[in-house]
């Protein structure tokens, strides 16, 4: 072999090996941040006073502290290596136009850095009849926004760069990278609003048809699909479909089967203000994950970091525990939420009409309140306090109960885990 031919063969082998090695290197995971249910009220729309305090006490939303909590979370994302931020609805307290505009300003440093941001509306974002400001002891009406306004305001948060948009809703599909599509599903019923929002969510037949067309195209093009929707499609606690059905999208079981069997691996959701992940297995054996993230407007002030690759995703959950001026934010809000949830539970139990003693009613309400707080944080387990309350209830009602066998959480884990597709 001549020297020139030998050099040619060496170069050929070099490029073949280079090509093989480049194909064998795993794709870098997409680094994603996830927040939801910020319920942000513009600082320009609230002043200290009785009206604001009354709303916080009755609603379960600590809107007074949301601006500082949000600033802290967004600043942490800014100093991280995330490439994408997903915001799963209920961006604003009640759809105030100024809240949307000021919220967008808070996102600008991330966008200037190159982070791609994607939003979808919840039930508190569009066409809200009760958009308000709080001034002293007064609650006053302010301007809201229409569906078209939402898409225009957030044109740089998914709508302007969408591969395709649904003509019947604010749903869209976007490309996260050359292998991954994000399907953002709008199930809000803002066209039906009269005096307030509708808590329940629904995907219209026309939007469902559009979603299926997108999923068929994704399969043809060999794209990985993850979703984002405000409402859950799988139960996160026992009897959720009976007691909290408005926090699941209408016809959720059929849709969960439909999503799983048509290639969606996971959907990021919110609405129930809890950190919980549920694995749903379709009738055909396909698994899809409902990854619900807690609110930033109340304990435990949760947000997530996700690393998504072709085989699954690594999820890490963080919580805001303090803000400037209040080092005890999380603990104080936990106690506020515990008191509120216990009071609400007692009211619901009383309406059932059972002939129970006041002590038994109080025990039931206490147990439900404790379980709600644990569910909000995620990875809930029976601790000493809950165990004592359950044993006391067992004794009071003379019902045998093995507290060591009680499972509060559906698999998998909720906060820090790796999900394999």
Residues 314 and 264: their CA atoms lie apart, in Å, by 17
Torsion region of 394: left, alpha or beta (phi above 0 gives left; psi -120 to 50 gives alpha)? alpha
Q: For residue 163, how many C-alpha atoms fall within 13 Å in the half-sphere facing its CB?
A: 16
Output the pLDDT for position 14.
Answer: 41
Sign of CA dihedral 240, 245, 246, 247: positive
pLDDT digits (tens, 9 = 90+) for 147-173: 999 999 999 999 999 999 999 999 999
Question: Does pLDDT of 68 surpass 90?
Answer: yes
Q: What's the token pair of residue 36?
A: 């939801």
pLDDT digits (tens, 9 = 90+) for 177-207: 999 999 999 999 999 999 999 999 999 999 9
For residue 12, being part of any structural domain is answered with: no
CATH number at residue 306: 3.60.21.10
Question: What is the mean pLDDT of the segment spanning 394-414?
Answer: 85
Question: Does pLDDT of 21 surpass 60?
Answer: no
Output the pLDDT for position 27.
Answer: 67
For residue 91, being part of any structural domain is answered with: yes
Paired sense of beta strands 132-135 and 138-141, if any: antiparallel
Residues 53 and 56: their CA atoms lie apart, in Å, by 5
Question: Does pLDDT of 106 surpass 90?
Answer: yes
Q: What is the total count of domains within the chain?
A: 1
Question: Does pLDDT of 350 surpass 90?
Answer: no
For residue 182, being part of any structural domain is answered with: yes
Question: Is-contact 265 421, C-beta < 8 A?
Answer: yes
Residues 253 and 226: their CA atoms lie apart, in Å, by 18
Tell me which residue range forms the domain holding 155. 30-323
Residue 105: band (very low, low, confident or very high) from pLDDT cuts 50, 70, 90? very high
Lowest mean pLDDT among 117-121, 234-238, 261-265, 282-286: 234-238
Output the pLDDT for position 26.
Answer: 52
Question: What is the mean pLDDT of the segment spanning 316-345?
Answer: 94
């Amino acid at each position: 072999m001549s020297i020139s031919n030998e050099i040619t063969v060496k170069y050929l082998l070099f490029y073949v090996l280079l090509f093989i090695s480049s194909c064998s290197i795993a794709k870098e995971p997409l680094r994603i941040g996830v927040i939801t249910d910020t319920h942000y009220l513009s600082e320009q729309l609230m002043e200290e006073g009785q009206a604001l305090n009354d709303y916080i006490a009755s609603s379960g939303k600590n809107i007074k502290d949301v601006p500082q909590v949000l600033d802290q979370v967004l600043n942490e994302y800014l100093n991280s290596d995330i490439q994408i931020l997903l915001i799963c609805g209920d961006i604003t307290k009640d759809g105030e136009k100024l809240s949307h505009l000021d919220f967008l300003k808070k996102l600008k440093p991330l966008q200037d850095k190159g982070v791609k941001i994607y939003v979808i509306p919840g039930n508190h974002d569009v066409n809200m009849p009760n958009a308000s400001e709080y001034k002293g002891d007064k609650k006053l009406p302010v301007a809201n926004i229409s569906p078209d306004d939402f898409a225009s305001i957030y044109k740089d948060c998914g709508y302007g760069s969408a591969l395709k948009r649904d003509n019947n809703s604010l749903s869209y599909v976007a490309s996260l990278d050359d292998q991954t599509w994000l399907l953002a599903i709008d199930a809000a019923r803002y066209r039906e609003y009269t005096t307030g929002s509708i808590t329940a969510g629904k995907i219209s037949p026309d939007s469902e048809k559009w979603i299926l067309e997108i999923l068929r195209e994704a399969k043809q093009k060999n794209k990985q699909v993850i979703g984002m929707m405000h409402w859950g499609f799988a139960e996160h606690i026992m009897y959720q479909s009976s007691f909290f059905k408005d926090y699941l999208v209408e016809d959720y079981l059929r849709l969960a089967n439909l999503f799983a069997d048509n290639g969606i691996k996971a959907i990021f959701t919110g609405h129930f203000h809890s950190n919980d992940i549920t694995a749903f297995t379709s009738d055909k054996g396909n698994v899809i994950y409902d990854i619900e993230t807690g609110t930033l407007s109340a304990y435990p002030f949760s947000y997530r970091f996700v690393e998504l690759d072709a085989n699954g995703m690594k999820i890490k959950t963080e919580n805001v525990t303090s803000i400037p001026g209040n080092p005890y934010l999380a603990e104080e809000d936990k106690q506020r939420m515990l008191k509120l949830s216990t009071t609400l539970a007692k009211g619901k139990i009383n309406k059932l009409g059972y002939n129970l003693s006041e002590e038994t009613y109080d025990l039931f309400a206490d147990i439900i309140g404790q379980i709600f707080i644990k569910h909000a944080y995620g990875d809930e387990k029976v601790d000493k306090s809950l165990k004592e309350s359950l044993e006391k209830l067992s004794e009071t009602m003379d019902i045998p109960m093995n507290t060591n066998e009680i499972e509060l959480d559906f698999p998998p884990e909720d906060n820090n885990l790796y999900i394999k597709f």
